[in-house]
Structures are given as C-alpha cells and as structure tokens.
Amino acid sequence: MRAVFPGSFDPVTLGHVDIVRRASALFDEVIVAVGSNAAKAPLFDLDQRLALLRAATEDIDRVVVEPFEGLLVDYCTARQASVVVKGIRGPGDAEYELQMAQLNAQLTGLETVWLPTSPQWAYVSSSRVREIALLGGDVSGFVPAGVAGVIAAAAAKRRSGDV
C-alpha cells in the first residue's frame, strides 16, 4: 500500500523524520508530499523545503519526496495512494486533523492513518522552529543534522531584510 505524508515542512523537523521512518515500516511506499499552507507565510521556498526533506530522509527506504499542489485528494488519486499519514501531537492536532480526514474521506473515500508523535518530539513544530530561528535562537535540537545551519542562515538573511 502506498501512503502519502503531506505537509508544508517549513522546515522539516525531527518530528517529521520520525513519522516518515515509522510510516516506511508500515507501508510499501511513502510519498512525502510537500505543499503550501495558504494560511502561513513560508520561511523556505518549495525547492528549499524539498531539498531539506530529501537530505533528511535519504537513509530511509522506499520514501520519495515530491511537491504537490491543489487538493490532497486529487493528488492521492493521481499517485494511486489510498491512505494519508499524519502525526498527531495532541488534542489540538487531532481537532484540526479530524476535520480534514473526514472531509477527505467524504470527497473520495481517502483514508487517513494517525501516528501518535513520539513523546520526545511532541512539543516541536515547524512554526515554533521558524520563530526561534527568526529571533536568533539555536534550533539544532529540533531539526535534522545539516538543516540547522541552513535555517540559521535563512533566518539571519530574513532578519537583515535581504529577503
């Protein structure tokens, strides 16, 4: 069975990598689908988010990283994926994700499987990582090796008004 793990991944965190690793043990193939959340201003453009994710997941078997746009259900139909995987950190995620899962099921019958976030990453989110980085903090404990430096450089550039 082919699963899709969708998100904006701005940037990828150790919580995301944990979900990809665990999903790859459950499904034949995992497509990490990188989209854009219209409600959030991105720190990284799509190409940067794809590159960081590919580097962070290169040691995990049967994982591909792809961009997607439009409706998630249409993308899953096109890629012949019958299930979506989501990591759930707590009740806040569940409330938000339940509505999306139910809407997606109603639209095309797309199923959603929730993986409870591993406790050590339950407090990590891309938006907090962005906030810490933009304010000059160290995010190396929350993101894959090699990503922290890229994030710090992007945040410094943003703070200096270059971007």
Instruction: Just list the catalytic residues.
Output: 16, 40, 89, 126
For 109-139, give the DSSP string.
--EEEEEEPPGGGTT--HHHHHHHHHTT---
- Regarding 37 and contact with ligand PNS (CB under 6 A), the answer is yes
Shortest Å distance, C-beta 7 to ligand PNS? 3
- Regarding 13 and contact with ligand PNS (CB under 6 A), the answer is no
Q: Are 33 and 68 in contact (CB under 8 A)?
A: yes
Nearer to ligand PNS, 7 or 15 (CB): 7
Cα gap 17→12, rounded to integer Å: 7
Nearer to ligand PNS, 35 or 148 (CB): 35
Q: Contact region for ligand PNS (CB under 6 A) — 55-63, 100-108, 115-123, 152-160?
A: 100-108
For 83-114, give the DSSP string.
EEEEEE-SHHHHHHHHHHHHHHHHHH--EEEE
Exactly one of 1, 25, 103, 156 binds ligand PNS (CB under 6 A); that residue is 103
Exactly one of 51, 83, 100, 115 binds ligand PNS (CB under 6 A); that residue is 100
Shortest Å distance, C-beta 100 to ligand PNS? 4
Residue in the block written with tokens 């404990």: 141
Cα gap 104→111, rounded to integer Å: 8
- Regarding 127 and contact with ligand PNS (CB under 6 A), the answer is no
- Regarding 57 and contact with ligand PNS (CB under 6 A), the answer is no
> In the sheet where 111-116 sits, what is the strand order?
63-67, 29-34, 2-7, 83-88, 111-116
3-state secondary structure at position 158: helix
- Regarding 8 and contact with ligand PNS (CB under 6 A), the answer is yes
Using CB under 6 A, list all residues that contact ligand PNS: 6-8, 35, 37, 71-72, 100, 103-104
